[in-house]
Chain A
Amino acid sequence: MTRELTHYLESIRSSAHLDNCDEPAVMDELQAHIEDKLRDLTESGLSEEEAIKTCIWQMGSIKALARQIYEAYSQGSWKQVLMAAMPHFIFGLLFMLNWWHYPQWSSIALIITLGIAVYGWGHGKPVWAFSWLGYALIPVITAGILLLYVPTNWSFLGIIVYFPLAIWWVFRLVVQTTKKDWLLSTVMLLPLPIMIGWYLAICPTGKITSDSLQKVNTYAPWIGVSFMMLAFTIGTFIRLRQRSLRVGLLAVSGLLTITVAVFMATGHWDKASFFWPVVGLWVVLLFPPLLERQLKTGKWLPGKRRTTTVNS
């Protein structure tokens, strides 16, 4: 296999964003086709260079082929829809039924979330696992917020030790996910702008005050509705085939959720609780594709430049 054809196959592989379980078979099949084609073309009298050019031209453009492969594999089953929508549904239910303040229910929800997220991560990282991973970040964020309320000396320690560690860990998680597909990073991080919106609606100054819990009680049904909207969004996302539609869905639905939930619940145009979640949403939508581009060119990870090997 020449460098040109290896690059052709590698470009298709990186653009098709296939699941780990499908990718080797699809790439092996394409490689076998190219090898057969190349042999026939050279036997028919073409030079190696001409044969390679003809072969690539007859196979089709990388972009079109990768898109078609993606669409052939992207649609998830209804079981996957259920699995992907489940964490949003669980947290939505927790607030809609006003069970969030019972420690046992919140703990059960978090333990289930962490368990399934770790299981999914360790078992081939299926698409549904990334919804769970987003909620698995809640304990990390909560611990960070709580550290702001411990005595000053400990709080300082938290800032210099915990925050850099937490940010590094989340960044590593996003990098690992983006290597697979940046859209999955967006799926994973999508609940964060919604949570930021609610946090700012409940604590406009950024600090938890005595009436914060009362506010959570008041807004609980709306918080539940926003998580349910996310459940519906992710369910639709799993069933859609086209990548462009998936991106559009996440952008529109994220904005709609923030607008409906935060604006309707607060009853007025609160700039802070609307502006920062929208900024967060743009970060969630734009950072992963930019990161993916950087990872592909190898600029951010020394010694991890793009490989040109193909599964054989």
Chain B
Amino acid sequence: MESKRDLLKGSSNSLLLCLLEGQPMYGYQIVKELEAKSQGYFKFKEGTLYPALHRLEKSGVISSKWELLANGRQRRYYTITPKGQAMLAQEKTQWLDFFNAITMVLQPAKSGI
């Protein structure tokens, strides 16, 4: 479904920042968390998550750190930075305004128009 993919593409940064706002996460955990929180609505090619994360890291809105697990494996954990939190707050406001406007148009009775 092309329109759903476009929506996901346009909002992927906000979704990633929103997930990382709660706690630092590694890539696979982000994929599972996104799928669980959206009840399976957001499904994408998992490999494409990493270029998105690396772009966000380059722009300074998230940072990463490798951590050594008890079993000897390493995982890269991503954390939102203060710059990322400011960006997320701004994007949340924009999304809520957009969502309210869409709701008012699609469901005029419920929104009180």
> Chain A: residues with CB nearer than 8 A to chain B?
12, 25-26, 28-30, 32-33, 35-37, 58-61, 64-65, 68-69, 71-73
Closest Cβ of chain B to A66, distance in Å, is: 9
Sorted from nearest, which 7 A-B pairs have the closest CB atoms? A60-B45, A68-B51, A72-B51, A59-B47, A60-B47, A65-B47, A36-B28
Binding site secondary structure of chain A: helix
Q: How many residues of B contact A (CB 8 A)?
A: 18
Contacts of A12 in B (CB 8 A): 47
Contacts of A33 in B (CB 8 A): 27-28, 46-47, 50
Cα A35 to Cα B26 with chains together (Å): 13
Total A-B residue contacts, Cβ distance less than 8 Å: 58
Could you pull out 7 A-B pairs where Cβ atoms are within 8 angstroms?
A25-B76, A28-B74, A30-B50, A37-B46, A58-B45, A68-B47, A72-B51
> Chain B: residues with CB nearer than 8 A to chain A?
26-28, 45-48, 50-52, 54-55, 58, 66, 73-76
Contacts of A58 in B (CB 8 A): 45-46
Closest B residue to A71 using CB positions: B51
Contact present for A72 and B47 (CB under 8 Å):
no
Contact present for B48 and A60 (CB under 8 Å):
yes
Contact present for B48 and A29 (CB under 8 Å):
no
Contacts of A71 in B (CB 8 A): 51
Q: Which of B28, B50, B51 contacts A37 (CB 8 A)?
A: B28
Cα A71 to Cα B48 with chains together (Å): 12
Closest Cβ of chain B to A282, distance in Å, is: 33
Contacts of A72 in B (CB 8 A): 50-52, 54-55, 58
Contact present for B54 and A30 (CB under 8 Å):
no
